[in-house]
A and B are shown apart, each in its own frame.
Chain A
Amino acid sequence: MRLFVSLVAVFCIVCSNVLADQIFPSHVAGTLGRSSREPKYKIEFHSEDSPYHPDDDQESVFMPNKDGKNFLCFLPKVEKTKTLKPVTQQNISSMIVESEKQVKLKTPDELLEVLKDRCFIRLFSMQQEGWWSYEFCYQNRLRQIHVEEDKVVQEFVLGVYDEEATAAFNQNLSDISSLKDPRSKDASQRYHAHQYTNGTQCDLTNQPRETEVRFVCSEPRAMISSITELSTCKYALTIQSPMLCKHPLFQEERPVWHTINCNVLPKDTKVEEDPHITMIMDSEDQSSNFDSSQ
C-alpha cells in the first residue's frame, strides 16, 4: 500500500516536472565545453618608455595604422604540440629527485587534502539524470539522491571510500591515469583516481554499486563536473580540482595563455619596409591533422 502511494506520488511529481515549462539556453548543453587547454590569446600594449624586449627567436609583425599610430608586435613562441606519453613510475621518481632540491613535491593526494571533510552536491538538469542530484563527500561517500523540499526522498549510495582499493589501483598506475579527449587525436585529460566501493546493491549485477572518482585539473573551483556509467552500476564521477594543477604532471593541463606583446612605436617612425622584420614562415608551426592548439 505504501509502495503504491509513493509510486503515485512519484508519478505525479514526475509528470509535473515534464509538463513544467523549463527552458534552457541550448548553448549551455554538453560536457564537452570549451577546452581549458586550448591556447588563449591576448594582447598587451607597452608604452614607449617601457617597451617589451623580445627574445631573439620571436617573430615580429609590424602593424601600421591609418591614424599614424604604429605598433611592432611580437608573437608568442609556439611550442611544438607534445604528445602526452603514458606516465611510468620511473619518470615520477626521477622528477621527484630533481625537483626535491627546490620544492618538496606533493603527491596528488596531499594536494587534495584541502578537500577533506568537504561535500559537493550537483544536480544535472540537462541530461537524463535530471531527477537525481549527486552528493559527494571527499574520502567519505557518494550518494545519488532525489531531493524534495529540502528533504532526501530517495537515495542510492554509489560507493564508500575504499582506501585499500585506491592504493591498489594507484600502485599499478603510478597515481595518474589519463582519459582520451576527442578534441584532437593527441589530447588527453589526466586524472587522479579514488575508488569508492560497497554502495547500494545493484539488482542488475547483484553486486554493490561502485564508483571511480576522478580528480582533474580544471579551473575555476572545485566542483562535480560530470557523472557517467561505465558499465552497469559502475560509475565514474569527475571532480574539477584546481589544487591539483600545482602538480607538475597536471600543470600541462592548465590553460595556456599566449601573449602577443605590442610596443608603441614613436610617431615619427617612417612607414617603410624594415629589412629586419620579415614574415618568417616557420615550418615548425605547421600543424598536422588534428591540431590540439586550435
Chain B
Amino acid sequence: MSRSSCHLFLFLLLFSLFPFPLLARPFVLVLSQDDLKDVQNDDASPLDSDSSWDDDDFGGTHVKPDDELDPGSWRRLFEPPTTLLSPSHDTSLDSYYAAVHKIISASNNGDSRLMEEAAAEIETAANTDGDPHARSVLGFLYGMGMMRERNKAKAFLNHYFAAEGGNAQSKMALAYTYSRQDMHEKAVKLYAELAEIAVNSFLISKDSPVIEPIRIHNGAEENKEALKKSRGEDDEDFQILEYQAQKGNAGAMYKMGLFYYFGLRGLRRDHTKALMWFLKAVDKGEPRSLELLGEIYARGAGVERNYTKALEWLSLASEHGLYSAYNGMGYLHVKGYGVEKNYTKAKEYFDKAADNEDAGGHYNLGVMYLKGIGVKRDVKIACKCFIVAANAGQPKAFYQLAKMFHTGVGLKKNLPMATALYKLVAERGPWSSLSRWALESYLKGDMGKAFLLYSRMAELGYEIAQSNAAWILDKYGERSMCMGELGVCTDAERHQRAHSLWWQASEQGNEHAALLIGDAYYYGRGTVRDYERAAEAYIHAKSQSNAQAMFNLGYMHEHGQGLPFDLHLAKRYYDQALELDPAAKLPVTLALASLWVRKNYADSFL
C-alpha cells in the first residue's frame, strides 16, 4: 500500500514539476551543437567568389526608393507622393493603378459591379499585355475566389509569371506557397532574394524598433491597447506629448523625433520633422538625439549627406555614454566615409559597442569576422556573434544566419531553417507597408478596405495578417465587405474563407486559430457539428499551450463528447488549464467541483 502511495506521490510531484510550457515568444532561435559546423577556415574560396555577399552588409545608407524595391507596390494609392517624383514615371502602369484603385474603393462599399469592372480590367491587362503587376492581382483574385472561381492552380500560375516579371509581392506569395508545399529549394531561393531586398532597407542605428504588423485582436476581442497606440496624430497621448515638446520638454522632443523618424505609433515617416525635433532636443541637452542626428547626416535623410557632421554627432553621442553610437562610427571607418578607412579603429569601436551589450556591435563584429575585414577571417566567431545579435533581436543578424544555413558556411546546411529565417527578414521588407495602410483603414472604420489589404498580406504569408483578416470576417460578418465569386460573399463563402485563413495561421503557430477551428466544429458554425474533429483541433491548440483548449478538452472528456468519457483526464486538463492561465480560476473551480460531484455521487445521478 505504501509503495503505491509513494508512486502516486512521486507521480504527482513529478507532474507538478513538469517544465511549464514556455510562454510564446515572438521568435527565438534554437541551435544545437549539431548545427555548428566543425569547420576550419577551409571555406575561404567559395566565399570570396560569391557575388551575393555584396559590399553593403553594413547597409543602410544608400536606401533606394520603394518603387524600385517593390515594383508594383500600391504605395502610390495610399501614400500619394507629397513631392513631385521623377516626372518620367511609367505611364503604362496607370491603367494598372486605376484598376487597383477601383478594387480598393469597391471593397470599401461592397460595390460588386465596380469590383467586377476592375477585375475585368485586370484580366485584360494581364492576358493581353502580360503586365506582371496585373498578373499579381489576378493571382490574388483567383486565390481568394473574388469575382472569379477560387482556383489555386490559376493563382499559382499567375503568381509565378508575375514573379518572373519582377513583381515583389508575387514573389512573396510564391515563396510562401513553396514553403507550404515543402519545396524548400525553391522557397529558399526566393526568400533569399526577398530578404536581401528587405535587409538593404534596414537602418544601422541602435535597436531600430522593429515595426511589425500589429495584431488588431487579442483572442476574440479587439486589441484596444495596441490600436490606441497606433492612431498617429489623432491619438490623445500623442497630442499630449506634442504639447509637452512644444513647451520645451527635451525628453518629449526626443520622443517626437523618434516617432517621426521611424514612423512609429501610426505616424508617417517624416525625416524633416524628425530632424527638427532632434535638433531642438539637442539644444535642450538631450543626449540621445545625438546618435540619431549622426545617422541622419550619414544617410542624408532630410538633409544633405554630410559624413563629417555625422561623425561629429556620433562622437559626441559616444562621449555621452551612448554605446550604440560606436556602431555608426565604426561603419564610417570601415567604409572610409568622411574619414580615412581604418579597419583597426572600426573594430575597436564595434568592440566597445559589443562590450556594452549592444546588439549592433555584435552584429558588426560578426560581419568583420565573416569577411575577414581588419581581422583574420573566422567563420565560427562570426557565427557566434550573429547568434548573440539575433537573440537580442537584431534583424540583420537573422539574415546572416539564414545565409549560413542556406550555404552551409559556418552552420550545417539546413534549408527549412534557412527558409524560416529568411522569411522573418523578408517580411520586414517594403511590402510590409500594407499592414500600415490596413491598420489605418481599420481605425477609420473602413472594414472592407482593411479586410482586403489584410487578405493580400495573408496571401504573402504574414501570419498576423491571416489572423487579422479572419478575425475581421468573424467579428464583422457582413460588414466586412468580403467579396466572393459572384458578388458580396455568401455565408458559406465567408465561413470557408475564415476557415482557410485560420488554418494557415494555425500552421504558422497561432494556437488561437486552432482553437477557433475547434469551436467552429464544436458549435457547428459554418459546417456540420463534429465533436471528433473539434477534439482534434483542440488537441492541436493544446500542444501550443492554449489554456482555453485545455479546458475544452477537459470538458469533452467529462461529458464524453468526441473524446472517451474519462474523469481522470478531465481533471488533468482542467488543472493544466489553470496552471497555464490563472485567469481561468473561476471556470476551472466550477468544473472541478462538477467533476467531484460526478465522481463521488455518480451512481445517484446517472
Contact = CB atoms under 8 A, between A and B. Distances in A.
Interface string B107-138: 00000000000000000000111111000000
B272 interface: no
Interface residues of A, number: 73
B276 interface: no
Contacts of A290: 496, 499, 527
A196 B6 CA distance: 27
B507 A34 contact: yes
B149 interface: yes
Contacts of A229: 569
B14 interface: yes
Contact of B160 (A15, A26, A43, A182): A43
A25 B29 contact: yes
A34 B503 CA distance: 10
Contacts of A281: 149
Interface in B1-37: 4, 6-8, 10-11, 13-14, 17-22, 24-30
Contacts of B164: 65
A285 interface: yes
B539 interface: yes
Contacts of A271: 128
Contact of A232 (B132, B500, B568): B568
Given A75-B157, A287-B496, A293 B152 contact: yes
A248 interface: no
Contacts of B62: none
B156 interface: yes
Contacts of B24: 26
B19 A14 contact: yes
A122 interface: no
Contact of B10 (A7, A204, A232, A285): A7
Nearest to A73: B157
Nearest to A258: B153
Given A32-B507, A128-B576, A180-B532, A42 B183 contact: yes
Contacts of B417: 25
B153 A76 contact: yes
B237 interface: no
B14 A185 contact: no
Contacts of B150: 287, 291
B130 A75 contact: no
Contacts of A204: 568
B507 A14 contact: no
Interface in A151-167: none
Given A27-B508, A30-B506, A65 B130 contact: yes
A232 B177 contact: no
A41 B161 contact: no
Interface stretch (A16-24, A47-55, A96-104): A16-24
Nearest to B510: A26
B28 A24 contact: yes
A22 B19 CA distance: 11
A208 interface: no
Given A285-B151, A293-B152, A26 B566 contact: no
B572 to A, nearest CB: 8
A229 B572 CA distance: 11
A289 B509 contact: no
Nearest to A75: B153
A71 B173 CA distance: 21
B454 interface: no
A75 B22 CA distance: 45
A65 B161 contact: yes
Interface string B422-451: 000000000000000000000000000000
B402 to A, nearest CB: 12
Interface in B488-530: 492, 495-496, 499-500, 503, 506-509, 511, 514, 517-518, 521, 526-528, 530
Contact of B492 (A39, A73, A289): A289
B569 A231 contact: yes
A33 interface: yes
Contact of A63 (B19, B157, B492, B540): B157
A41 B152 contact: yes
Contacts of A28: 509
Contacts of B563: 230-231
A182 B153 contact: no
B543 A22 contact: no
A62 interface: yes
A173 interface: no
A78 B153 CA distance: 9
B533 A182 contact: yes
Residue of B11, B14, B130 with highest tally of chain A CB at under 10 A: B130
Given A30-B540, A127-B21, 11 more contacts: A10-B13, A15-B17, A26-B28, A29-B509, A30-B507, A41-B152, A66-B130, A75-B151, A75-B154, A203-B11, A232-B566
Interface of B: 4, 6-8, 10-11, 13-14, 17-22, 24-30, 127-132, 149-154, 156-157, 160-161, 164-165, 177, 180-183, 391, 417, 420, 492, 495-496, 499-500, 503, 506-509, 511, 514, 517-518, 521, 526-528, 530, 532-534, 536-537, 539-540, 543-544, 557, 563-566, 568-569, 576
Interface of A: 3, 7, 10-11, 14-15, 17-18, 22-34, 38-43, 61-66, 70-71, 73, 75-76, 78, 126-128, 130-131, 179-183, 185, 203-205, 228-232, 234, 258, 260, 271, 281-282, 285-291, 293-294
The 9 closest A-B pairs by CB, nearest first: A23-B28, A231-B566, A64-B130, A232-B568, A32-B540, A182-B537, A231-B564, A26-B509, A182-B533
8 contacts: A10-B13, A23-B22, A25-B417, A66-B129, A182-B536, A183-B503, A234-B564, A289-B492
